[in-house]
Structure 1
Amino acid sequence: MSLVQPYSLFTDFDISLFKNGSHYNLFDKFGAHTVTIDGVKGTYFSVWAPTAKSVSVIGNFNFWQGNQHELLVRWDSSGIWEGFIPNVTHGELYKYRIESHNNGIITEKADPYGRLCEIPPKTASVVQDTSTYQWNDTAWMSYRKNKNSLDKPFSVYEVHIESWKKKEGYKNLSFRELATELVNYVAEMNFTHVEFMPIMEYPYSPSWGYQLTGYYAPSARFGTPDDLKYLIDEFHKNDIGVIVDWVPSHFPEDAHGLGYFDGSNLYEHPDPRKGYHQDWKSLIFNYGRNEVKAFLISNAVFWMQEFHVDALRVDAVASMLYLDYSRKDGEWEPNIYGGRENLEAIQFIKDFNTELYTRFEGIQTIAEESTAFTGVTTPTQLGGLGFGMKWMMGWMHDTLDYFSKDTIYRKHHHNEITFSLAYAFSENFMLPLSHDEVVYGKKSLIYRMPGDEWQRFANLRTLYGYMFTHPGTKLLFQGAEFGQTEEWNFQQSLDWHLLEFDPHKKMKAFVSDINKLYKTEPALYEKAFSPEGFEWIELNDAESSVLSYIRKGHNTENDLVIVCNLTPTIRKKYKIGVNSSKNLKEIFNSDLKKYHGSGIKNDNIIKVSKKGWHFKKYAALITLPPLSVVVFKHE
């Protein structure tokens, strides 16, 4: 006989919204919620399992036996099982034991809406009381729209929490410990945002967090949900935005996860041509199923509402958009119009972006999308997907390829480094030097640079200088800021001991300073996504491998003149055209000795001549240090 009592958090209206896929606060209804009924404390459980013959809650409180706490199925064909279990309270372990009508298969599943899981490799969910965390970021939330908008500086430090830094014994830092160490570091480095690779619960560390089993649960490796709130709070108190990687593109086949949840293809598409990802050996959500769409969009809402997250970076968008993604002929089926686009996934993405931008002021969504799909950052009301930004993968590949070449050959590849400006304003682009570029034999960024040690560091500073003065927002992966030499290893800490050595210490200082330059010069961010914010001075000086351009903001008095010398040759009296008759002053130079450079600079005010050059009204003669980026401003 079941010890479960009838009880429900669902209204008829909730059920209607759930069925038609437009209930985006499902986390308030589904899962485990501690409540008190008639003076008795306990937990209300609810789970969606439409093909189940029976659903029981199992845990230590019933010796993991499935015959004591059978949930009650609703009468309304919603497929929801629910009920109240007395005396099951905060901290109890539980799973759902589900017997399928289809074939009698019995599964034991973690709660899809569970707020906390056991520390992997254990797999049970953990009952959580309603959070009483008192946020202290009221100021940040009130002016977030002014810090997080598309005409403000947006420089992101990408972090993998397991490997950023380890304690003695190679233990992970907790959310609470990171609230001191990581927050202080990101503030010191002058980044405007931090981005966490997935921090939802994942069973397998080599997946780097991209194979999720607990979409609503911060990973217990690092602490509790309130511990994570404290970490985000501390970032906000330091005026640093928080971005979280979000993975709606696929999920793993682990027995306790979402796959084959109630003995049927519940969350995954039943057709393996749409429901199985061959590259990642994982399952693909059924975006055309209303209840699945509501599960995912509710999850996005959850992270922004409950954790005050400022942006979601959406993983592997290209794999969602195309039915033939990484598939051969015969392994995919065209859509109803004969095309390769996944129409259901596209509609899901539009609904996701519409809901978030409507509901939350000052947030952003960022697409990791590697194809030429049009309108990724066009608003949904204009027919686009509705993302705020998109990773500029073409810039990343072309730039790293160019900088890996010996400087003597760069003049033959000059178009590779200028090509990005041909399409730089077709989307709202973020320039990423991400974790994907320092693994699997690609080498660390510093070791992808050619030349001796001095030239490697000079090249890397030049790459960063070019990146931070190029239109678009910025992202650097952990370790890139001080010239990490080894490839990223998810199992171990960054090589912090390298900061004992001058080149690495000064590289760190350089990144901190160029972040500061980026944050304080409006010309570098106010028109980051508009062709009005960029003007070439000279893009065709391939023989010298020199680039020169002007960055512009709302006020012409803030215009910056930027010159990149991409070889070790010092160029004196290099002539550039400028738009203003006012004299120039050097305000930033990547070759300074404090950055481990040679110390060549433009000491004096640079006179501007009225004899024009480069189709500009005026001209100036400047000195270009070796392998450098120099930034000038008119007096």
Structure 2
Amino acid sequence: MTEATLVGLSEEDVYLFNQGSSYHSYRFMGAHPAVVNGMHGVRFAVWAPNAKEARVIGSFNSWDGSGHVMRQVGTTGVHALFIPYLTEGEVYKYELVKGDGTPIRKADPYAFHAERRPGTASIVTDLAGYAWNDSGWIRHKNSHTPYANPLLIYEAHAGSWKVKGKEIFYTYEELADELVPYVSELGYSHIELMPLAEHPLDQSWGYQVTGFYSATSRYGSPKGLMRFVDACHQHGLGVILDWVPGHFCKDDHGLRMFDGSPLYEGYDANRAELPLWGTLAFDFSRREVVSFLISNALYWMDLYHIDGLRVDAVANMLNLHMDKPPHMHTYNDIGGRDNLDALRFLKRLNEMVFHYYPDALMIAEDSSAWPAVTSPTYKGGLGFNFKWNMGWMNDMLRYMSLHPDERPHHHGLITFSLCYAFSENYVLPLSHDEVVHGKRSLLNKMPGSYEEKFAQLRLFYGYWMTHPGKKLLFMGGEWGQFDEWKDGDMLDWMLLDYDSHRDMLGYVRALNHEYRSLPSLWEKDAEPEGFQWIDVHNAQQSVISFIRRGRSSFSVVIANFSNRDYGDYRVGVPELGLYEIRIQSGNNAFCAPESKPPDGYRTEGASWHGYDQSISLHLPPYTFMLLAPREGDTF
């Protein structure tokens, strides 16, 4: 009988883990309630190849591991032990003896639950047994490709959407009862949650992780998170999780120097250290690290039914020099700055995710110019299916912050994105990163008076919603949060007592539902045929107009970024007939359906913009208009 068999492990599982080919390693690593030789208990397994000895310590043995020494499985570096009579809820750590005989105490890298900070121990947790009720959502998801369907994402930070007091957070269940119906009613298709893996510091927002397999205990139990995801699915909402495979924090109980030597990080400190963030980069050349990370991605989809991952800091993973001073620069084996191990990892990650979950969303948060990020790996791409369009975001936020008198001189900021809009499958992000650290809220980026700020934000949202690409908006943006995001406090919900913010919420709700209802705005998001300029050159008046096309429908968009009123503005259109106003932002409150012109705009036989017919309309300052031909109504 082998060492693996003695503790209930499969030799094949451990072998594949060592080879970097174990993609469900959470099924045997960590702490698992089990039955071995007829006895109920918990089996522990940890990878610590450089430890002289590994022990399990916890409340059950008064934190003295001398009686619970783990057995190393051959030369695999995996230590394992079955302890009879232990049950779910036991608090534990691993005590690892370094080469010099010094013991160190570490949380379990594969722990499914952890103590709430400032506690650092792991908790034996059985994730089986939750009764899911999302089969209808899964069938829907399997039959709807994300490329040719609406993708409208509400990004939320669970610790500040709403709170009940200082560091008194809503639980996963309470968020299921309040956040989920709120987002669903506003018309979003997905919720994106900032990282929920266990992390010691609230102000890191979850991006500096100690427990990659532990849903943070700040908001409750793992089963509570399952209920939240289930509630989302029952409301027709997909769930995207921010995922951070590029680095980890240095807290003593975490992955740093895990068995007394660099293990999850590389031996070269210049490559491992990320000085800007104060964290350590994963060593993607270690096969066991690859097993750990790819398994983690699949874990969230397998056990929590997460629909997709927004992969953080892809550019940082790929570039060995990014955010590092020259004396820390390292080079790959062919003398370049590309992290070839990270490149191979990302490709393998996406291959495995789509192998097991073909309908998953894998979204790269990537600010680099790396080509073919959203192309399949067999075509030389990285294999993601979406990428954040950081160029569009930077250009548009810069443009919108300009005084209207300056905008004619920077017209290219609103038009240049169409030169590359179809080079990748893009998401247009208005994320938390743009409304924090002194950058001001989206509303407060707009120049001018209080009223002008609201008018321009409505205009901006309309252009964003009709520009090719999927959409993401950070919480609070839907009603015009005035102050920038404060991660230690909840959003300023009292602003909804004021008409301007209530009207903004109503406008965003209407805009969201119009987007979802018009296939022309999303059926051909990734195809050049889905977009056509009507007038791209009107820099003097700061007005643009264009057509969005679906498979069998089209819409017309006119956006006036100036503070001037154009009483008779003529726009060429491709077909005869009546063009209804689907939504108009207006200079004050948005134009509700009852205030629209009853017959819309009927075409006239005046050639304009290269078309044989055109419409004449009133275009107030800072106005966005979305028009669509009334079906069957032609001359």
TM-score, scaled relative to structure 1:
0.96
Aligned pairs for 1:240-279 (under 5 A) are: 240-279=237-276
Structure 2 residue 629 is the aligned partner of structure 1 residue 634: yes
Shift of 1:413: 1.1
- For residue 562 of structure 2, what is the aligned residue in structure 1? 567
Shift of 1:85: 0.6
- For residue 14 of structure 1, what is the aligned residue in structure 2? 13
SS in structure 1 at match of 2:40: strand
Output one character per residue of 1:444-496: Cα deviation in whole Å (capped at 9) or x when no partner. 11111111111000000011001000000000001111111111111110000
- For residue 606 of structure 1, what is the aligned residue in structure 2? 601
- For residue 66 of structure 1, what is the aligned residue in structure 2? 65
Shift of 1:601: 5.6
CA contact under 8 A between 1:523 and 1:551: conserved in structure 2?
yes
Structure 2 residue aligned with 1:95, among 75, 93, 110? 93
Shift of 1:304: 0.5
Structure 2 residue 107 is the aligned partner of structure 1 residue 110: yes
Residue identity matched to 1:90: E
Output one character per residue of 1:268-288: Cα deviation in whole Å (capped at 9) or x when no partner. 011122211111011100101
Shift of 1:36: 2.7
Shift of 1:602: 4.6
- For residue 86 of structure 1, what is the aligned residue in structure 2? 84
Once residues 454 and 483 of structure 2 are traced to their aligned partners in structure 1, the CA distance between those partners, rounded to angstroms, is 15
Shift of 1:619: 1.8
- For residue 53 of structure 2, what is the aligned residue in structure 1? 54
- For residue 155 of structure 1, what is the aligned residue in structure 2? 152
Output one character per residue of 1:208-238: Cα deviation in whole Å (capped at 9) or x when no partner. 1100011001001111111100000000001
SS in structure 2 at match of 1:574: strand
- For residue 579 of structure 2, what is the aligned residue in structure 1? 584
Output one character per residue of 1:476-535: Cα deviation in whole Å (capped at 9) or x when no partner. 001111111111111110000000000001101111111101100000000111111000
CA contact under 8 A between 1:111 and 1:125: conserved in structure 2?
yes
Structure 2 residue 518 is the aligned partner of structure 1 residue 521: yes
CA contact under 8 A between 1:148 and 1:364: conserved in structure 2?
no
Residue identity matched to 1:323: L
SS in structure 1 at match of 2:330: coil
- For residue 538 of structure 1, what is the aligned residue in structure 2? 535
Shift of 1:66: 2.5
SS in structure 2 at match of 1:312: strand
User: Cα RMSD between the aligned structures?
Assistant: 1.8
Residue identity matched to 2:350: N
Aligned pairs for 1:336-485 (under 5 A) are: 336-485=333-482
- For residue 143 of structure 1, what is the aligned residue in structure 2? 140
CA contact under 8 A between 2:151 and 2:471: conserved in structure 1?
yes
Once residues 468 and 310 of structure 2 are traced to their aligned partners in structure 1, the CA distance between those partners, rounded to angstroms, is 20
SS in structure 2 at match of 1:400: helix
SS in structure 1 at match of 2:328: coil
- For residue 33 of structure 1, what is the aligned residue in structure 2? 32
SS in structure 2 at match of 1:362: coil
Residue identity matched to 2:31: A
- For residue 622 of structure 1, what is the aligned residue in structure 2? 617
CA contact under 8 A between 1:446 and 1:456: conserved in structure 2?
yes
Structure 2 residue aligned with 1:178, among 168, 175, 179? 175
CA contact under 8 A between 2:14 and 2:78: conserved in structure 1?
no
Output one character per residue of 1:569-597: Cα deviation in whole Å (capped at 9) or x when no partner. 22122111111122322111111765389
Once residues 628 and 139 of structure 2 are traced to their aligned partners in structure 1, the CA distance between those partners, rounded to angstroms, is 34
SS in structure 1 at match of 2:513: helix
Residue identity matched to 1:28: R
Residue identity matched to 2:623: S
Aligned pairs for 1:200-219 (under 5 A) are: 200-219=197-216
Answer with 162-171 or 423-432: which moved more.
162-171
Output one character per residue of 1:323-380: Cα deviation in whole Å (capped at 9) or x when no partner. 1112233422222222211110000000000000111131110000001111111111
SS in structure 2 at match of 1:67: helix
TM-score, scaled relative to structure 2:
0.96
Residue identity matched to 2:90: E
Once residues 595 and 454 of structure 2 are traced to their aligned partners in structure 1, the CA distance between those partners, rounded to angstroms, is 16
CA contact under 8 A between 1:312 and 1:366: conserved in structure 2?
yes
* Identity among equivalent pairs (%): 42
CA contact under 8 A between 1:148 and 1:154: conserved in structure 2?
no
Q: Indicate how the Cα distance of structure 1 residues 58 and 600 shifts in structure 2: closer, same or farther if over 3 A, else same.
A: same
SS in structure 2 at match of 1:405: coil
Structure 2 residue 227 is the aligned partner of structure 1 residue 222: no
Shift of 1:259: 0.7
Answer with 56-65 or 29-38: which moved more.
29-38
CA contact under 8 A between 2:250 and 2:280: conserved in structure 1?
yes
- For residue 498 of structure 2, what is the aligned residue in structure 1? 501
Once residues 148 and 542 of structure 1 are traced to their aligned partners in structure 2, the CA distance between those partners, rounded to angstroms, is 37
**What is the total number of aligned residue pairs between the two structures?**
628
Once residues 118 and 272 of structure 2 are traced to their aligned partners in structure 1, the CA distance between those partners, rounded to angstroms, is 26
Answer with 136-145 or 244-253: which moved more.
136-145
CA contact under 8 A between 2:584 and 2:590: conserved in structure 1?
no
Residue identity matched to 1:441: G
Once residues 83 and 525 of structure 2 are traced to their aligned partners in structure 1, the CA distance between those partners, rounded to angstroms, is 55
Q: Indicate how the Cα distance of structure 1 residues 491 and 223 shifts in structure 2: closer, same or farther if over 3 A, else same.
A: same
Shift of 1:9: 3.8
